Amino acid sequence: MSLRTAGSVLVVFLWSVTAVLGQTGWSVTYTTQSICALKGSTVDLTCSYTYPSGTVKTTFWFTKMKTGKEPEDLGQDPEYADRLEYHGDKKKDCTLKITDLRERDSATYKFRFITDQTRGRYFGKPGVTLSVTGLQVKLTVGFWYNTLTCSTTCTLPDNPTYIWYKNGHKEKEDTSSSYPDSFSDVDSYSCAVKGHEDLLSPAVCQKCWSVTYTQQSICTLKGSTVDISCSYTYPSDHEIKKAFWFTKWSDKDAEDLSSAPGYEGHIEYLGDKESDCTLRITDLRLSDSAGYRFRFITTRDKFAGSPVSLTVTVLQVKMRTSRFSSWVTLTCSTTCTLTDSPTYIWYRNGHKVKEDTSSQYSDYLRNADSYSCAVKGHDNLHSPAVCVRGQNCWSVTYPHQGVCALKGSTVDISSTYDSGDATITSSHWFSSKQSSSWKDELVPEDLTTDPGYAGRVEYVGEKESGRSTLRITDLREEDSAEYKFIFNTQTSGWGYSFPGTTLTVTGLQVRIKDPTNIIEGTCLRLFCESICFLQDNPSYIWYKNGQRLFSHETKYLILDPVSSEDAGGYSCAVNGQEDLASAEKTLTVRCEYVGYNYTTTH
Q: Which of 333, 328, 334 is nearest to 348 (CA)?
A: 328
Burial 53-89 (b: 16+ CB within 10 A, else e): eeebeebbbbbeeeeeeeeebbbbbeebbbbbbbebe
- Assess contact for 43 and 11: CB atoms under 8 A: yes
Please list the residue range(s) of the chain that carry CATH number 2.60.40.10. 19-133, 136-205, 210-312, 314-392, 397-505, 509-592
How many whole angstroms separate alpha carbon 404 and alpha carbon 396?
Answer: 21
Amino acid residing at 585: K
pLDDT, position 138: 87
| pLDDT at position 594 over 70 | no
pLDDT, one tens digit per residue, over 34-65 is 999 999 999 999 999 999 888 888 889 999 88
In CATH, what class is 314-392? Answer: mainly beta
- Assess contact for 94 and 59: CB atoms under 8 A: yes
Which three-class secondary structure state does DSSP give residue 114?
Answer: strand
How many whole angstroms separate alpha carbon 444 and alpha carbon 462?
Answer: 22
- Assess contact for 111 and 61: CB atoms under 8 A: yes
How many whole angstroms separate alpha carbon 391 and alpha carbon 394?
Answer: 9
3-state secondary structure 1-67: CCCCCCCCCCCCCCCCCCEEECCCCCEEEECCCEEEEECCCCEEECEEEECCCCCEEEEEEECCCCC
- Assess contact for 112 and 75: CB atoms under 8 A: no
| pLDDT at position 507 over 90 | yes
Write down the mean pLDDT value for the chain: 84
- Assess contact for 234 and 298: CB atoms under 8 A: yes
pLDDT, position 496: 73
**Average pLDDT of span 143-152:** 85
Architecture of domain 509-592: Sandwich (2.60)
What CATH fold (topology level) applies to the domain 397-505?
Immunoglobulin-like (2.60.40)
| pLDDT at position 10 over 60 | no
What CATH fold (topology level) applies to the domain 136-205?
Immunoglobulin-like (2.60.40)
Q: Which residue has the higher pLDDT, 43 or 560?
A: 43
How many whole angstroms separate alpha carbon 93 and alpha carbon 72?
Answer: 20
State whether CATH 2.60.40.420 applies to domain 210-312.
no
3-state secondary structure 188-218: EEEEEECCECCCCCCCEECCCCEEEECCCEE
Q: DSSP letter string over 434-456?
A: GGGGSSSTTS---GGG-GGGTTT
Q: Which residue has the higher pLDDT, 366 or 314?
A: 314
Burial 584-599 (b: 16+ CB within 10 A, else e): bbebebeeeeeeeeee
pLDDT, one tens digit per residue, over 356-410 is 988 988 887 666 677 889 999 998 788 887 876 655 667 788 888 889 999 999 9
Long-range contacts of 108-111 (CB under 8 A, 24+ apart): 108/63, 109/45, 109/61, 109/62, 109/63, 109/74, 110/28, 110/61, 110/62, 110/63, 110/65, 110/71, 111/28, 111/30, 111/47, 111/49, 111/59, 111/60, 111/61
pLDDT, one tens digit per residue, over 165-192 is 887 788 889 999 998 877 777 778 889 9
- Assess contact for 304 and 277: CB atoms under 8 A: no
- Assess contact for 479 and 470: CB atoms under 8 A: no
What CATH fold (topology level) applies to the domain 19-133?
Immunoglobulin-like (2.60.40)
How many whole angstroms separate alpha carbon 470 and alpha carbon 482?
Answer: 12
What is the pTM (predicted TM-score) of this model?
0.54
